[in-house]
Amino acid sequence: MAWYNLNEKEETIKQYETRVKYDKIICKKANSINDIIDSELKEGTQYRFVTNNHFNAITVIKYITSKYEVEEMYIAIYRMNQKSVEKLKEYVTAGNIKMTILLSSFFRENKRYEKWCESLINFSKINENVNICFGLNHAKIFACKTKCEKHIVFEGSGNLSDNARVEQYLLEENKQMYNFHKNWITEFTQL
């Protein structure tokens, strides 16, 4: 089991609480991810948002790959759809991105793979940059490192599949959280 030790943070809890007390909170309605993030992800800023319409988490990955050259990415996800698999395959192929994906073992143990899962497994067999692993996973995490040394983390309740539910997300540029997620996801590849 992995956890985040607050004692390892550069900033103490008291310093954080003092700083956050005076941070500006902005609430606004947005029609797209471009309305949420002005230009570039800022280190130390958390972008939190809630959706109430179709908002596939692949939308944020698409936004990030359009703004930055991604070097490596780590994904922990319960479910995807075929459109998301095709987008991920496209990103890996076009950008020579190293990708590790932790999927729910439910799809591996099921005698009838869902088409998207089978497609992803087959892609990993022909592309050495893609590593697929399985575990008792229900997490929804996307973490990537860019060539310009940004460490982007996207967490939330949504899968990489279409839905019409209320979902909550957190997007930030945070090296410490990136390394945290990278480490625990990587542990599954070594089991």
User: What's the Cα-to-Cα distance from 183 to each of 5, 85, 111, rounded to whole Å?
Assistant: 14, 23, 30
Whether 28 shows a pLDDT value over 80: the answer reads no
Is residue 143, in this structure, part of any structural domain at all? yes
pLDDT digits (tens, 9 = 90+) for 38-84: 678 888 788 888 877 667 778 888 889 999 999 999 999 988 889 99
Strands (E), 35-79: 46-51, 70-77
Is residue 31, in this structure, part of any structural domain at all? no
Q: What pLDDT is stored for residue 107 in this prediction? A: 63
Is residue 34, in this structure, part of any structural domain at all? no
Which residues span the domain enclosing 153?
45-189
Within its chain, how far is the Cα of 36 from the centroid?
A: 17
* Radius of gyration of the chain from its Cα atoms, rounded to whole angstroms: 17
Task: Please give the Cα distance from 70 to 72 (Å, whole number).
Answer: 6
**CATH number of the domain to which 139 belongs:** 3.30.870.10
Kindly report the number of other CB atoms within 10 A of residue 41's CB atom. Answer: 21
Better-predicted residue by pLDDT, 17 or 1: 17
Q: What is the pTM of this model?
A: 0.81
Task: Please give the Cα distance from 148 to 62 (Å, whole number).
Answer: 17
For the chain, give the mean pLDDT: 81
Q: What pLDDT is stored for residue 5 in this prediction? A: 45
Is residue 59, in this structure, part of any structural domain at all? yes
**Are the C-beta atoms of residues 76 and 140 closer than 8 Å to each other?**
yes
Looking only at the bridges linking them, the beta strands covering 98-104 and 130-135 are parallel
Task: Classify 19 as helix, strand or coil.
Answer: helix
Kindly report the number of other CB atoms within 10 A of residue 170's CB atom. Answer: 14
Mean pLDDT computed over 155-174: 83
Alpha helices in 5-81 (DSSP H): 13-21, 33-36, 58-67
Q: What pLDDT is stored for residue 4 in this prediction? A: 40
Q: What angle do CA 54, 93, 186 make, to 5 degrees?
A: 75
Is residue 180, in this structure, part of any structural domain at all? yes
Is residue 81, in this structure, part of any structural domain at all? yes
Which has the closest alpha carbon to 171: 34, 3, 49? 49
Which has the closest alpha carbon to 2: 160, 135, 99? 135
Q: What pLDDT is stored for residue 117 in this prediction? A: 87
Task: Please give the Cα distance from 152 to 136 (Å, whole number).
Answer: 24
Is residue 25, in this structure, part of any structural domain at all? no
Count of domains for the chain: 1
Is residue 14, in this structure, part of any structural domain at all? no
